Chain A
Amino acid sequence: MKKLGALIAVLVLAAVAAVGLASCGGGGGETSGGGGGGGQKGGTLNGTYASFPDYLDPALSYTAEGWTAMADVYVPLLTYKHANGAEGSEVIPGLAKELPKISNGGKTYTLFLRPGLKYSDGTPVKASDFPFAVERMIQLNSGGSPFYLSIEGAEKFAETKQGPISGIKANDKTGEIVINLKAPRGTFTNELGLMFVAPLPKDTPIEDLSANPPPATGPYMITKSQPGKGWEYERNPYWAKANGKAMPDLPEGVVDHAKMTVIRNPETQVDDVEKGTYQWMQNPPPASRYAEVKEKFEGSQFRVEPTISTYYFWMNVNRPPFDDVKVRQAVNYAVDAKALERIYAGQIKSTQQILPPGMPGYEQFELYPHDMGKAEELMKEANPSDMDITVWTDTESPNNEAGEYFNEVLKELGFKTTLKQINADNYFTVIGNQSTPELDAGWADWFQDYPHPNDFFQPLLAGESILQTNNGNFAELDDPAINEKIAKLGEEQLGPEQEAAYAELDEETMKQAPWAPYGTRTLSTFVSDEIDLESVIFNPTFGHYLSSFEFK
């Protein structure tokens, strides 16, 4: 009896301990990324953004702020693994049961919706909500529309705004969704993972819903939004009841409630996170505070996060003097990436190629190591007759300083320059409009839309991307050989062979030197001492996941 009593006592103690551990354990225990766990479940996360996202509507948002704000709210058919770094670039099933079955020579994508899913208002998620979401996005003229115009009938829909899109068939009974493309598109799987086309209930108004965001499918829902000021999250009541069980790969989140406040002065944001008034700032500390914050808090409250981005100076290959490849190569030799690292206060890592580290297909090379002698030699050989150039940059620090630096480099090479600094809010609109005069050279950057190397070639360097307005090919490169390779690779599914081909394309394009790339940007995670830094996930596509934050 004594032994039985002891056994019962041990079992009771073990049960109590297990219950205790479970209640203390982090909600992110099932997450595939992050090294946290063991923190407190529940609580309110007070975060701060330097600006209100462009939209709090999944169909419309096309900024890092918007995607971060909604990453745990709207789940597309496919999504990205909740993990840091390269692991986070893996496409995984979201509302769909599995990754798509691709057939018909890469033109047909078949997916099945997981059964039993519900929106945060209790409405069941149906397969036909996907074509509705695509149509709504196109009707709203979303910046994401071009990704989906390769669907049969989508272009016609964009013109007439009369549905349905013939290339999408959805069966609400079986959950089957069949998408037919006009031509094979190797990036389409990645594009299905963007929240532009996250399913929404069919009664969702065809208007910008940033002030009253539509119902959620993720673990959190946005309950209050005050554009310009901030917004709040609560747990999605149907996550625990339905969606969480259907999508076990996605974390349920740890905090119960979150409140995001816009504080436009990043200095104040840093002070507030240091004091603990806010537990997280979405944007990195300003350059003037970066070194101080890094030195003081790295490892405990601060972490440098790599991004898949390229910062570069473009040169218009159709206008003298940059119509001469030797001049463009001279500029590449003259630009000193080390100087730019300092201008960006250490928030940029030098690189001299189009594809950034972390992007499939990236293979490091250095065609133009900084060498002013070589640059001057090439300039002598080229002997350009037109030496008057206009250099464009935006007003946001430190991009404005990068532009000033580029301006001085060009002066050193003997050019007579005029520097134009344009307000950051409309900089890309101005330089993307071909009627803007004197578009000779300037600054630009590009962050991946999704982890596919085509995203750095097709919109930025393909001849067909040269547009009268909203042009993204600032260098106006229209090289038939490069165009052909971009088009061919764009149709193929990404594999080791294609990655090697993209690496070759990268080097081949840089031999033409339409850009002088100088770095890839690093961002950061900065949290107060109450938050477990280890648990926070920074995904290369969506940024910080709200579901990964937990209190110590």
Chain B
Amino acid sequence: MSTEPSAERGPWSLALRRFLRNRLAVAFLGLFGLIVVFVLAAPLWANHVADTGPNEEHTVEQITVDGEQKDVVSVEGKPIGPQWFGAGGKFFLGADSRLGRDEMVRLMYGGRTSLLIGISAALFATLLAIVLGLLSGYFGGWVDSLIARTLDVIWSLPVFLIGLAVGIALAVGGLKIGSLELSSGSLWNPILIISIFTVPYIARPIRGEVLSLSEKEFVEAAIAQGASPGRVMFTEILPNLASTVIVFFTLMIANSMLFEAGLSFLGAGVQPPNSSWGTMITVGVDLLRIQPLLAILPGLMIMLTVLSLNIVGDALRDALDPRGKARMDAALQFEAQAGAGGGAAI
């Protein structure tokens, strides 16, 4: 007699099964994995194939392509185009600018920077959002009002413009608050900006869910047994937020990468000579007519990464909670009602 599989499998196993059934999501997860491998292989390619670092300039150098000497940058300032394997892998995608840096190497290192910022900013934003969402949703009252209104204020701001202004200020002067000191070129500057300004996008849905979960029987039971608020929040409610957090975290990586690309494109994110896909688009735009690949390639990498993360994020939501969308809508509606009530109370 065969046993009913669903009866033996836990919720995570079921979710994995549901996720694997979504072929498109699996394909894009594979693509995201390939992108990660691609950027992690940057030092290998740089040291063993291209024989150059991401910021090394070769403006007046020549390379041998199929036995022929070629300028990396012509006298008229035109960077060499893709050489594929013609020069043994050197300048595989050509030179990035009139500075004659290897585009392939910078694309790989730039991807590391973009992903690092995307993941770090999403991680910080998510952690902060969890804490704020739990406090706000669980305690209610003035704590909720204070947090919710602060999030409302951030949400109502033209986030990108303010991020741009703060980014430019930090890019010039760095940041010094007490013992915390960030230099002007530090990657922590865009990470901080992005995480702070994107917190409301996760914190508000989490708050809604916490408001909803706080009224469940298992929470009331824990309180009745004398569990402290911290214990209730972190051992009873938080595990039930896992699916929401995982989904939002995945989507926030994509959003943070786009935010970083925008900031860097406008000079307020990653600072030169370091590369990110955003800064590479800026450099490429200047040479769009003569070497269009220089702008297209980093743009394509951003698009593929963001697309894969969004598709995987959506699939995770469907897999972790098949009724997630309906629940998420309900949570948002509940949160909105509670928010309106709080406002009236004030």
Residues of A within 8 A of B (CB): 267, 286-292, 294, 336, 338-339, 341-346, 395, 397-398, 400-401, 404-405, 407-408, 418-423, 430, 437
Contacts and interface: CB of A to CB of B under 8 A. Distances in A.
B272 interface: yes
Residue from B55, B73, B98, B171 having most chain A Cβ neighbours under 10 A: B98
A289 B289 contact: yes
A288 B73 contact: no
Sorting the interface of chain B by its residue count into under 10, 10 to 19, 20 to 34 or 35 or more gives 20 to 34
Nearest to B291: A288
Residue from B76, B97, B286 having most chain A Cβ neighbours under 10 A: B76
A343 B272 contact: no
B267 A423 contact: yes
Contact of A407 (B73, B184, B273): B273
Nearest to A286: B286
B299 interface: no
Contacts of B56: 408
A408 B289 contact: no
13 contacts: A287-B286, A288-B290, A291-B76, A343-B98, A345-B76, A345-B77, A346-B76, A408-B99, A418-B184, A418-B185, A419-B185, A420-B185, A420-B271
B289 A288 contact: yes
Contacts of B73: 342-343
Contacts of B288: 288
Given A336-B60, A397-B286, A398-B98, A342 B267 contact: no
Nearest to B57: A408
B101 to A, nearest CB: 9
Contact of B98 (A287, A292, A408): A287
A276 to B, nearest CB: 20
Contacts of A419: 185, 271-273
Contacts of B286: 286-288, 397
Contacts of B185: 418-420
Interface string B54-81: 0111011000000000000111111000
Contacts, number: 90
B77 A342 contact: yes
A342 B289 contact: no
B76 A401 contact: no
Contact of A291 (B60, B78, B273): B78
Contact of B75 (A286, A287, A341): A341
B270 to A, nearest CB: 11
Contact of A405 (B59, B78, B267, B271): B59
A420 B57 contact: no
A291 B77 contact: yes
A437 B172 CA distance: 10
Contacts of A408: 55-57, 99, 273
B287 interface: yes
A397 B77 CA distance: 12
B129 to A, nearest CB: 33
Contact of A288 (B75, B99, B168, B287): B287
A404 B60 contact: no
Contacts of A422: 172
B47 interface: no
Contacts of A430: 172
Contacts of B235: none
A423 B168 contact: yes
Contacts of B183: 418
B184 A344 contact: no
Given A400-B272, A404-B99, A408-B57, 4 more contacts: A290-B76, A343-B77, A401-B97, A404-B57
